[in-house]
């Protein structure tokens, strides 16, 4: 047998088309984890930049500020994509998936030929982002290889799967959207009109094939841009070529980064490590370099950040799919998860961590985006509310203790007060709504 024949036998099989509901749910679940991980990558890159660094000229400072704005904009839309995939999952009868493994992950973990890792802004990050967001303008029915070349191909396969299973005449056409009436998050949940761009995001409710394809097309247009193939077959979203796509923004950031002097690049970057961890994880790439925090303040704050981040995900999970949550419950979850918990706790933790040492003598700490366990979908409101009160109380006690410790950022006391306030809000709501 020739070497070519042996290679052909040993080569992994190509990615198969989606033929069943099980295939579709599995693929959507992986897409949700991908979006979650990519969102964390952009947020980490934004946290690694210092727009007020003394070594930056005013013009360079504005350039770096633009990097932060672009990374946060893309991260918000990756969060939107996670929400759209959650709507797709619920619509076909599955629970949402806000879980994911910890980073870094090895290449090809999701059959994507790229590693997923937390890296500071710079050449490595930009190269990875360019490849993740790269357009795919192959014909819609082109055969896939054993691995996806970009995220665009992931959604191309999903789109074809929805067409296969949901088109008129398909055996599952009348039953595919089992969860069409189940709770989902769309623009109306935020007081926005359908199609309105709200803080850079647009959420579509999925209840049939047309809305499912529109959600997928929106993800692709925002990510890779409106390629000729997408423009040739618009579904609900007849958009012009998008110069603000993630791919276009990343290319613009690359050009601006290359134009900075080496001194300005060095000044713009905080000394944060790649792949920070507050404790060792068994689900990360064993060959990747990680930075394990040893400074007690960094470990404590990173742990509290993880707890707050998980609380936010649990509240989001509860808003999707069939459950016994009342309309008032859903409003409370949304009112806690988004602006208060996200902006008054999670983001400040990320900004404070970079002010603390990692403990290795070289790096500052940073937000780790760790998950301590599965993000479960709780369906019983009494049980969920009791655990919600307990989790918030533990979080408040942890922040209060850390705020009283020596040599922590002064802002810690403010965040501790925010968490105590949220804890009392949740406790009062649960007591008044048994």
Span 273-287, pLDDT tens digits: 999 999 999 999 999
What confidence category does residue 43 fall into, taking pLDDT thresholds of 50, 70 and 90? very high
Q: Which of 125-139, 221-235, 348-362 has the highest mean pLDDT?
A: 348-362
- Condensed to tens digits (0 to 9), the pLDDT of residues 353-389 reads 999 999 999 999 999 999 998 999 888 999 999 999 9
pLDDT of residue 202: 85
Q: Indicate whether 99 and 224 sit together in one domain.
A: yes
Residue 279 lies inside a defined structural domain of this protein: no
What confidence category does residue 417 fall into, taking pLDDT thresholds of 50, 70 and 90? very high
Q: Indicate whether 305 and 228 sit together in one domain.
A: no
Q: Indicate whether 137 and 243 sit together in one domain.
A: yes
Residue 27 has pLDDT above 90, yes or no: yes
- Find residue 198's DSSP bridge partners: 201
- Condensed to tens digits (0 to 9), the pLDDT of residues 176-201 reads 999 999 999 888 877 777 666 666 78
Predicted model pTM: 0.93
Residue 231 has pLDDT above 70, yes or no: no
Residue 415 lies inside a defined structural domain of this protein: yes
Q: Indicate whether 233 and 326 sit together in one domain.
A: no
Residue 277 lies inside a defined structural domain of this protein: no
Q: Mind giving me the DSSP string for 184-234?
A: ---GGGGTPPTT--BTTB------SHHHHHHHHHHHHHHHH---HHHHHS-
- CA 206 distance to own-chain centroid: 20
Q: For residue 130, give both structure tokens.
A: 């360019």
Looking at per-residue pLDDT, the higher value among 14 and 107 belongs to: 14
Mean pLDDT taken over the chain: 91
Residue 274 lies inside a defined structural domain of this protein: no
Residue 57 lies inside a defined structural domain of this protein: yes
Q: Indicate whether 416 and 331 sit together in one domain.
A: yes
Q: Indicate whether 209 and 309 sit together in one domain.
A: no
> 94: closest CA among 34, 5, 32, 3?
32
Q: Last residue of some domain: 256, 276, 308?
A: 256
Looking at per-residue pLDDT, the higher value among 344 and 7 belongs to: 344
Q: Indicate whether 141 and 204 sit together in one domain.
A: yes
Q: Indicate whether 317 and 424 sit together in one domain.
A: yes
- Least confident piece of the model among 29-33, 244-248, 348-352, 385-389: 244-248
Residue 405 lies inside a defined structural domain of this protein: yes
- If one counts the domains in the chain, the total is 2
Q: Indicate whether 150 and 233 sit together in one domain.
A: yes
Mean pLDDT score, 157-165: 96
Q: For residue 291, give both structure tokens.
A: 């930075």
Apex 137 CA angle, 135 and 143, nearest 5: 110
Residue 125 has pLDDT above 70, yes or no: yes
- Condensed to tens digits (0 to 9), the pLDDT of residues 314-343 reads 999 999 988 899 999 999 999 998 778 999
Q: Indicate whether 240 and 306 sit together in one domain.
A: no
Percent of the chain with pLDDT over 70: 93
- Condensed to tens digits (0 to 9), the pLDDT of residues 77-89 reads 999 999 999 999 9
Residue 51 has pLDDT above 90, yes or no: yes
Residue 270 lies inside a defined structural domain of this protein: no
Q: Indicate whether 323 and 211 sit together in one domain.
A: no
Contact 204, 214 (CB under 8 A): yes
Q: Which CATH number fits the domain that encloses residue 74?
A: 1.20.1260.10
Q: Last residue of some domain: 230, 256, 282?
A: 256
Residue 265 lies inside a defined structural domain of this protein: no
Provide Rg for the chain, Cα atoms: 22
- Give me the domain span that covers residue 344: 291-432
Q: Which CATH number fits the domain that encloses residue 338?
A: 1.20.1260
Residue 114 has pLDDT above 90, yes or no: no
pLDDT of residue 137: 74
Element (H, E) at 71: helix 58-91
Residue 9 has pLDDT above 80, yes or no: no
Q: Measuring CA to CA, how many Å separate 127 from each of 89, 92, 132, 399? A: 31, 35, 9, 37
Q: Indicate whether 307 and 213 sit together in one domain.
A: no
Mean pLDDT score, 345-360: 96
According to DSSP, residue 104 is labeled: P
Q: Last residue of some domain: 235, 256, 277?
A: 256
């Amino acid at each position: 047998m020739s070497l070519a024949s042996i290679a052909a036998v040993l080569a992994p099989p190509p990615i198969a088309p989606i033929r069943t509901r099980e295939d579709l749910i599995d693929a959507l679940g992986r897409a949700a984890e991908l979006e979650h991980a990519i969102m964390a990558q952009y947020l980490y890159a934004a946290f690694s930049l210092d727009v007020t660094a003394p070594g930056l000229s005013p013009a360079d400072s504005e350039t770096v500020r633009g990097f932060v704005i672009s990374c946060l904009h893309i991260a918000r839309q990756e969060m939107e994509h996670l929400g759209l995939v959650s709507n797709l999952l619920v619509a076909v009868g599955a629970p949402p998936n806000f879980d994911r493994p910890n980073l870094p992950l090895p290449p090809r973990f999701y059959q994507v030929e790229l590693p997923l890792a937390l890296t500071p802004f710079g050449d490595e990050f930009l190269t990875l982002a360019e490849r993740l967001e790269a357009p795919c303008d192959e014909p819609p029915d082109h055969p896939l290889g054993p691995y996806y070349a970009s995220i665009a191909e992931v959604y191309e396969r999903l789109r074809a799967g929805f067409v296969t299973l949901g088109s008129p005449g398909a055996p599952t056409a009348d039953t595919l959207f089992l969860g069409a009436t189940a709770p989902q998050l769309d623009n109306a949940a935020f007081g926005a009109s359908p199609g309105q761009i709200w803080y850079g995001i647009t959420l579509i409710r999925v209840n049939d094939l047309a809305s499912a394809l529109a959600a997928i097309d929106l993800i692709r247009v925002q990510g890779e841009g409106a390629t000729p193939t997408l423009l040739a077959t618009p579904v609900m979203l007849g958009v012009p070529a998008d110069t603000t796509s993630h791919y276009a923004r990343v290319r613009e950031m690359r050009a601006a980064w290359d134009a900075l002097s080496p001194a300005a690049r060095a000044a713009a970057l905080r000394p944060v490590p790649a792949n920070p961890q507050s404790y060792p994880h068994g689900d990360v790439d064993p060959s990747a370099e990680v930075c394990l925090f040893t400074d007690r303040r960094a470990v404590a704050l990173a742990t509290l950040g993880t707890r707050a981040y998980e609380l936010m995900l649990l509240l989001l999970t509860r808003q999707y799919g069939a459950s016994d949550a009342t309309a008032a419950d859903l409003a409370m979850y949304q009112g806690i998860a988004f602006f208060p918990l996200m902006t008054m706790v999670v983001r400040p933790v990320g900004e404070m961590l970079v002010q603390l040492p990692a403990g290795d003598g070289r790096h500052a700490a940073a937000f780790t985006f760790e998950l301590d366990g599965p993000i479960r979908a709780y369906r019983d409101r009494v049980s969920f509310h009791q655990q919600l009160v307990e989790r918030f109380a533990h979080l408040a006690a942890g922040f209060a203790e850390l705020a009283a410790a020596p040599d922590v950022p002064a802002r810690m006391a403010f965040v501790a007060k925010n968490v105590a306030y949220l804890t009392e809000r949740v406790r009062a709501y649960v007591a008044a709504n048994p």
